[in-house]
Amino acid sequence: MTALDARVANSFDFHLMPRVLGAPLGRALFRSQLEDFQVDEIIDLQPSGEGEHLLLHIRKRDQNTTWVAGMLAKLAGINRNDVGYCGMKDRFAVTTQWYSLHLPGRELDTGQLEHDDFEIIACCRHHKKLRRGMHLGNQFNILLREFKVDSALVTERLRLIEQQGVPNYFAEQRFGHEGGNLYEAQKLIAADQLKGNRHGTGIYLSAARAWLFNLVVAKYIERGDLSDHTGPLWGRGRSNASVDNRQIESEVLADWQGWCYALEHAGLKQERRNLLLKPENLTASWTQADCLRLQFALPSGCFATALLRELAELFRPKFEAL
C-alpha cells in the first residue's frame, strides 16, 4: 500500500482520491443556489396508457427522492412500498424524475397530490412499477460561480475531459457527511451486523461497496491505465475479470478482506463497473466573466462531481472543498 493509499484508506476522505488531469484549474463556488444544480432524468419510457400504476413526472426542489416518495404515498393514501422510482436525485437542486404509484382499480385526482416542494409535470397510466436502475442516465445543467480562470485553459481541460474521460468515482454523496456512512459501515462490519437492506443497513452496504471500488480506481490511476477496464462492486459470486485485473484487485483489497467477506454474506451479487467515465454532449458557456455553465449527460449511477473535480476545486459557503 502506497503512502497515498494508506492516507485515503485511513481517513475515508474522498477529496484525497487522485485525479487524472492534474491539479484543478481554480476554485469555484458550487451549488450556492438551488438553480445552480439541475438534473433531468433520462428514461426510455413508453407508457401503456392503462394499468394499475399511475406514473407521475415530477419536478422537485430542495427535497430528496425518498422524501418525495414518502409524501406521495401519504397524500395518495397508499403504502410507501407501492411508490416506485428509478434513481436517487440530489436534495439541494432542482430535479425532474418519474415516480409510479400502485393504484389498482382506483382513479386519483392529481390535485390531491399537490405540495409546495414539488410539482407534477405530467401523469399517465402504466402496467409496470418503476424500479431502481430502469433509467438510462441523467442530464445535468450546472453553474459554477466565482470561477476566475483563463477561458482558454477551461476550454482545453474540457476537451481532455470529453476525449479522455474521468475516473468513474462514486462521489461524496454516497459516503455521507465527512464519510459518516463509511464509519458506520466499519462499525457494523466489526460487529458482524452488516446484514442487508432489510435490516436497515442498505445505505452502509452501498457506501462500503463504493469505497472499495474507488480504491481500485485510484490504483489504476497510479498505474496510468483506466481505459477498457472495469472494477469490482463486491459481492458473492465468481469474478469475470481478467487474470491481470483480479491480481491488481487482490493487491488493492488485501487489507480489506473483512469488508469483502461482509459484502459477500450480505446478499449482494458481485458486479462490475467501468473505471472510466465519459460525458455525452458536453457544452460550456460563460454567463458572466466568472460564471461557467456546463451541460452534459451521464449514465445512471454516475456522479457529476466526479467530472467537475477534474476541472475545479469545488467549495460551498458552509462546507469544505469538494
Q: Which tens digit of pLDDT belongs to each residue from 33-90?
A: 999 999 999 999 899 999 999 999 999 999 999 999 999 999 999 999 999 999 999 9
Q: Which residues contact 232 (CB under 8 A, 6 or more apart)?
A: 212, 213, 216, 239, 241, 249, 253, 270, 271, 272, 273
Q: Which residues contact 288 (CB under 8 A, 6 or more apart)?
A: none
The answer, yes or no, to whether residue 320 has pLDDT greater than 50, is no
Per the model's pLDDT, the better-predicted residue between 195 and 36 turns out to be: 36
- pLDDT of 239 reads 85
The answer, yes or no, to whether residue 222 has pLDDT greater than 80, is yes
Cell 450546472, residue?
142
Class of domain 44-135: alpha beta
Using pLDDT thresholds of 50, 70 and 90, give the confidence band for residue 194. Answer: confident
For range 139-166, the mean pLDDT = 98
Distance, in Å, from the CA atom of 29 to the CA atom of 147, rounded to the nearest integer, reads 7
- pLDDT of 95 reads 98
Stated pTM of the model = 0.91
Q: Which residues contact 148 (CB under 8 A, 6 or more apart)?
A: 26, 290
For range 6-24, the mean pLDDT = 82
The answer, yes or no, to whether residue 219 has pLDDT greater than 70, is yes
The answer, yes or no, to whether residue 199 has pLDDT greater than 70, is no
Distance, in Å, from the CA atom of 149 to the CA atom of 112, rounded to the nearest integer, reads 49
C-alpha cell at 204: 452502509
Catalytic residue among 90, 109, 192, 228: 90
Using pLDDT thresholds of 50, 70 and 90, give the confidence band for residue 3. Answer: very low
The answer, yes or no, to whether residue 202 has pLDDT greater than 90, is no
Distance, in Å, from the CA atom of 200 to the CA atom of 279, rounded to the nearest integer, reads 34
The answer, yes or no, to whether residue 1 has pLDDT greater than 50, is no
- pLDDT of 54 reads 97
CA distance to 41, 56, 127, per residue, from 99 (Å): 11, 5, 13
Distance, in Å, from the CA atom of 153 to the CA atom of 205, rounded to the nearest integer, reads 40
- pLDDT of 258 reads 92
pLDDT tens digits along 176-193: 888 999 999 999 898 888
Segments making up each domain of the chain, as ranges: 1-39+137-168+275-322, 44-135
- pLDDT of 10 reads 58
- pLDDT of 6 reads 53
- pLDDT of 9 reads 54
CA distance to 77, 257, 312, per residue, from 24 (Å): 49, 34, 5
Mean pLDDT estimate for the chain: 92
Single-letter code of the amino acid located at 170: F
Distance, in Å, from the CA atom of 119 to the CA atom of 113, rounded to the nearest integer, reads 9
Q: Is 90 a catalytic residue?
A: yes
Which fold does the domain 1-39+137-168+275-322 belong to in CATH?
Gyrase A; domain 2 (3.30.1360)
- pLDDT of 198 reads 55
- Give the percent of the chain with pLDDT over 90: 79
